[in-house]
Amino acid sequence: MPPYKTALVLGLASSGEAAARLLLAEGTPVFVMDRKDSEILRQRAAALQALGAEVRLGTVPPPGGDFEIAIVSPGIPVASDTVKAVMARGIPVIPELELGWSRSNCRVLAIGGSNGKSTLVKLCAEALAQAGRQVAIAGNYGPPVSAVVSEHRPSCRRQDLDWLVLEVSSFQLETVQAFRPDVGVLLNVTPNHLDRHGDFQTYRQMKARLFARMTPADTGVTDLNILPEIKALAGSPNHWITAGVDPATGADPATGISPAADFVYRSGAIHNSRLRERIELRGTMFDNEIMGLTAAMAAAALSACGVEGRYLTAAARAFQPLPHRLQDVGTVRGIRFVDDSKATNLAALMAALRMTPRPIRLIAGGLPKHESYEPARKLLAEKVATVYLIGQAAESMAEAWRGAAPCVMGETLEQAVAQAWREARPGDTILLSPACASFDQFRSFEERGECFIRAIRALS
């Protein structure tokens, strides 16, 4: 794609900075704006200004001028006054994801979903690497796409990439226009980010945009149970491969029971009905009905990438879990601690409860996402001794879970850890799985997880 004549970059977070740098390297005049003003933004602004960009911080209305394209950061909603003002002037708006993708010279595997997509991205990328492919991770997990594409441009001495594996969020998909991965994977769709998208149907539509521009030469991968709805929303003619879990494993319906799928997790292995292939998972973290679905999705995606199942087995055996995703952070006096700070919605919390042995002392709460907490009642009653609630969602969670499990109201995460520790007995698990965003008390889910770990160390 030829360089743009002029470009407006909305937002100076890491994705906005990467987009501006890529555009400047192409010789495009760039104007960057951000409504916020902070020390780190000023440092980024100074670096971009040294490269020739014009930058404005702490401003609300977009600047005048005839821009050929506007690149929007995922943190800026399409419904914001800034984006609407730009669109009203007839300026095309695309996400940084699409800018980077449009400059890539390799095949792209894009992975979306409500929960577990970072783990799936890592597993697929590591299996591709096991198969000898040159691969890089980017997007919602990893560096911005534009940064990775810039690093691997043909002018660089580094070997060209075979595959770019992207984690794609609903925020990034809001404004995609031409984005078209060679292989697209939608792991699952459960209520999430309703505070931004308004309702579940709109959220599903955003997720389906992953496939909207695909052609018959491309491949879409999803759970057989949601395939009809996703196909209807996407309206694309691509080839489809499905994945699922055999109900004989005792899986809950929410985990994707679909024994007729092309790739099915069953009894310690993925079974490929197309090639009568068995992909072993025994002894790995994927040998259960929750993570087995993730592995089945990986097997389906890798088959579309031309990679044999034995490389998935090798990757699964060597896999190191990502931090703050059901991370076992130690046992003190017979009491186990598990950090699942990445669980920012109810579906993730429920998955954590299914995978954690009882009795559980659950720490939950944070910034709500406008979803109902009622569906967790049955699991709470079965597995949780006490719930310790913090953050803005604490009262609504307590109301939704009254009678299912005892709920203790608190203020800080440190206080919740200390009280759970006082009341726990050997054999208990203290599980941080908030089912909420972190931004009421923390800057990120990572900071929340680190706070949990520090609190544990203070106890021991």
Same structural domain for residues 164 and 288? yes
Give the end of a domain, one of 65, 91, 117: 91
Query: Which residue range forms the structural domain that includes residue 247?
Result: 104-318
Same structural domain for residues 141 and 228? yes
Give the end of a domain, one of 259, 284, 318: 318
Same structural domain for residues 50 and 197? no
Same structural domain for residues 240 and 389? no
Q: How far is CA 387 from the centre of its chain?
A: 26
Same structural domain for residues 393 and 305? no
Inside any domain, residue 2: no
Inside any domain, residue 96: no
β-pairing, 219-223 vs 239-245, is parallel
Distances (CA, A) of 353 to 70, 278, 297, 420, 455: 43, 29, 22, 16, 22
Same structural domain for residues 158 and 54? no
Write the CATH number for 77. Answer: 3.40.50.720
Same structural domain for residues 158 and 300? yes
Inside any domain, residue 147: yes
Q: Which residue has the tokens 């319906």?
A: 253
In 37-141, alpha helices (H): 39-50, 81-88, 96-102, 117-130
Inside any domain, residue 98: no
- Looking at residue 274, its pLDDT comes to 74
Write the CATH number for 369. Answer: 3.90.190.20
- Looking at residue 157, its pLDDT comes to 46
Q: How many distinct structural domains can be found in the chain?
A: 3
Same structural domain for residues 272 and 140? yes
Structural contact between residues 3 and 25, judged by C-beta atoms closer than 8 angstroms: no
Looking at the DSSP bridge assignments, the partners of residue 112 are: 186
Structural contact between residues 268 and 282, judged by C-beta atoms closer than 8 angstroms: yes
- Looking at residue 251, its pLDDT comes to 47
Rg value, the chain, Cα: 23
Same structural domain for residues 123 and 213? yes
Q: Would you say the C-alpha torsion 245, 347, 236, 179 has a positive or negative sign? A: negative
Give the end of a domain, one of 289, 318, 347: 318
Calpha distance 378→91 (Å, rounded):
50
Q: Which residues contact 90 (CB under 8 A, 6 or more apart)?
A: none
Q: Which of 305, 247, 299 is nearest to 269 (CA)?
A: 299
Token pair in block for residue 387: 């719930």
Calpha distance 110→181 (Å, rounded):
6
DSSP string, 203-259: HHHHHHTTSTT--TTSEEEEETTTHHHHHHHH----EEEEEEE-GGG---GGGTB-T
Same structural domain for residues 297 and 167? yes
Low-confidence ranges of the chain (pLDDT < 70): 154-159, 249-259, 460
Exposure string over 127-146, b if 16+ CB within 10 A, otherwise e: bbbbbebebbbbbbbbbbbb
Structural contact between residues 169 and 141, judged by C-beta atoms closer than 8 angstroms: no
The amino acid at 186 = L
Same structural domain for residues 290 and 418? no
**Which long-range contacts (C-beta less than 8 Å, at least 24 apart) are formed by 38-44?**
41/12, 44/12, 44/17
Cis peptide before 359 (omega within 30 of 0): yes
Q: Which of 399, 349, 358 is nearest to 376 (CA)?
A: 349
Write the CATH number for 164. Answer: 3.40.1190.10
Inside any domain, residue 375: yes
Q: Which of 192, 193, 144, 140 is nearest to 167 (CA)?
A: 140
- Looking at residue 254, its pLDDT comes to 46
Inside any domain, residue 430: yes
Same structural domain for residues 68 and 148? no
